[in-house]
Amino acid sequence: MKRVAFVISSQHLKPAGGIGSLTKSFCELLSQHDTIIDIIADKSIRGSTRTFVEDILLPPQINFFCNTEPLKYEDNAIEQSQFNKEGVNYQKIINFQKIFVERSRIVDYDFVVVHTQEAMAAIATLDTKCPVYLYTHLYKQVFSEINITDSFLPVYHTFYNQFLSYDNVTVATQCERNKRLLNDPIPPASQGIDNVEVIPMPLSDRNLLVKSTHEREGVLFIGATSLHKRYKHFLKVIKATGLPARVMTTQTSARTFKKKFEEMGITDYDIRVDITGQEKVDFITSSRMCFMPSKVECYSFAFQETIAHMPVVVLDDQIWSDSFDSQYFFKVNKKDMVQTVKDVYNITPKEWYSTGAFEYILDIDKTAQNAWIAKVTEEKSRNV
């Protein structure tokens, strides 16, 4: 039986987020193929994140380990300064390294999957005796573009860049387009990355791979009220069209949406917080269409989950949707978004399922499953 370490930051392990979805899909898939998965975090988890992880766990097949006596991040001076997005969090690196070393003294891993720069710094410098995969999305989204006001960001990039070229490290991403961008010598990187492999991730909620007969109503928005999600475009569309609003978001963002809806006189709305499982499946498949104005989509799980079942409208000033076949969604200029949503809303579920979009997503998911099953089959521990 193989054993895999899945190393992830407790900060990013959120039920409704892309990395949370990635964690669930990865663990559930590999656990069905003679593999033990150890989820390893820098520190303990609480609240909805704890409940989410507990639902995934299936000991002894899927396990969770964390540093129970972590260094505090508030002790990191740069974290408490105006340069908090430009500095290396050495406390987090130490926390990751401590728990990973503890686990490695007990078990030998066949390979390690990492999702956080600090975890990469902690593990790449160890003699893991097995392959390490840094699973990432677009390069510019990991290493932010440098502005003239940034003081330490170039040093930050240099520090983390060095670990991507280690012999036992492979940078993994979900599509060929991302691989090309990672290979290219584009800013802010000083050089491209050669050791990139395309290994997509399957969808986490498997019931979204079944056609739905639900009655459909409303325009769906998935995401928080962060700037890159551009939720104000969604508010504008709902106000202008008068169509029902359907929102999947976080607890904090739910309060913002509710306040904005009330201020704008929008009364027909349904907001769901951190939903997963069948509730998430039912909410998505009972929506008529989805509007996704995001400037950035990291892993694009929400996009895949929605276009399988309904028309999705995106804006033309982003590049993340270029990873997908354009015949299965609507890409428009901001000035046309209101009219496009109005028009697309009239497409029936039967008409949408006839486009082949559902089968397209099934193919993507199958490719993802096969890629990771192949890894489990092929990878051998260097201890062997």
Q: Are 269 and 245 in contact (CB under 8 A)?
A: yes
Same domain as 148, residue 214: no
Mean pLDDT for the chain overall: 87
For residue 152, pLDDT beyond 50: yes
Q: At what angle do helices 231-241 and 337-344 cross, to 10 degrees?
A: 60
Q: Are 114 and 120 in contact (CB under 8 A)?
A: yes
Same domain as 163, residue 237: no
Does residue 377 belong to any structural domain of this protein? Answer: no
Which of 174, 199, 224 is the last residue in one of the domains?
199
For residue 382, pLDDT beyond 60: no
For residue 161, pLDDT beyond 70: yes
CA distances (Å), 146 to each of 94, 141, 178, in order? Answer: 26, 12, 20
Choice between 332 and 295, residue whose per-residue pLDDT is larger: 332
Does residue 69 belong to any structural domain of this protein? Answer: yes
Banded pLDDT at 190 (limits 50, 70, 90): very low
Q: Residue 45 has which token pair?
A: 């988890």
Q: Are 211 and 353 in contact (CB under 8 A)?
A: yes
Give how far the C-alpha of residue 139 lies from the chain's centroid of Cα atoms, to the nearest Å.
14
Query: Does residue 154 have a cis peptide bond before it, meaning omega lies within 30 degrees of 0?
Result: no
Does residue 247 belong to any structural domain of this protein? Answer: yes
Residues of the chain with pLDDT > 90, as a percent, come to: 58
State the pLDDT at residue 139.
45
Banded pLDDT at 43 (limits 50, 70, 90): very high
Quote the CA–CA distance of 20 and 170 in Å, as a whole number.
Answer: 21
For residue 272, pLDDT beyond 90: yes
Same domain as 218, residue 180: no
State the pLDDT at residue 380.
45
Average pLDDT over residues 372-383: 70
Quote the CA–CA distance of 44 and 65 in Å, as a whole number.
Answer: 8
For residue 176, pLDDT beyond 90: no
Banded pLDDT at 167 (limits 50, 70, 90): confident
Quote the CA–CA distance of 209 and 350 in Å, as a whole number.
Answer: 16
Does residue 373 belong to any structural domain of this protein? Answer: no
Q: Residue 284 has which token pair?
A: 């998505």
What is this structure's pTM? 0.86
State the pLDDT at residue 103.
96
DSSP element (H, E) containing 338: helix 337-344
Q: What is the per-residue pLDDT across 301-347, written as a single tens digit (0 to 9) for each?
A: 899 999 999 999 999 998 889 889 999 999 999 999 999 999 999 99
Give the domain range for residue 119. Answer: 2-199
Same domain as 339, residue 223: yes
Banded pLDDT at 189 (limits 50, 70, 90): very low
Residue 94 burial by Cβ neighbours in a 10 Å radius (0-12, 13-18, 19+): middle
Quote the CA–CA distance of 85 and 88 in Å, as a whole number.
Answer: 9
Count the domains in the chain.
2
Interacting residues of 87 by C-beta distance below 8 A, sequence separation 6+: 76, 78, 79, 81, 152, 156
Q: What CATH number is given to the structural domain containing 194? A: 3.40.50.2000
State the pLDDT at residue 186.
58
Banded pLDDT at 100 (limits 50, 70, 90): very high
Average pLDDT over residues 64-69: 94
Choice between 163 and 365, residue whose per-residue pLDDT is larger: 365
DSSP H stretches of helix in 126-250? 139-142, 153-161, 176-183, 231-241
Banded pLDDT at 143 (limits 50, 70, 90): very low
State the pLDDT at residue 221.
98
Is residue 244 helix, strand or coil?
Answer: coil
For residue 149, pLDDT beyond 60: no
Banded pLDDT at 81 (limits 50, 70, 90): low
Average pLDDT over residues 340-366: 97
Does residue 380 belong to any structural domain of this protein? Answer: no
Residue 62 φ then ψ, to 5° = -125, 120
State the pLDDT at residue 140.
44
State the pLDDT at residue 291.
98
Q: What is the per-residue pLDDT across 203-220, written as a single tens digit (0 to 9) for each?
A: 989 999 999 999 999 999
Same domain as 247, residue 171: no
Which of 182, 199, 216 is the last residue in one of the domains?
199
Does residue 154 belong to any structural domain of this protein? Answer: yes
Same domain as 165, residue 231: no
Q: Are 92 and 115 in contact (CB under 8 A)?
A: no
Same domain as 72, residue 180: yes
State the virtual CA torsion across 35, 123, 25, 283 in degrees, nearest 10: 160
Same domain as 43, residue 174: yes
Residues of the chain with pLDDT > 70, as a percent, come to: 88
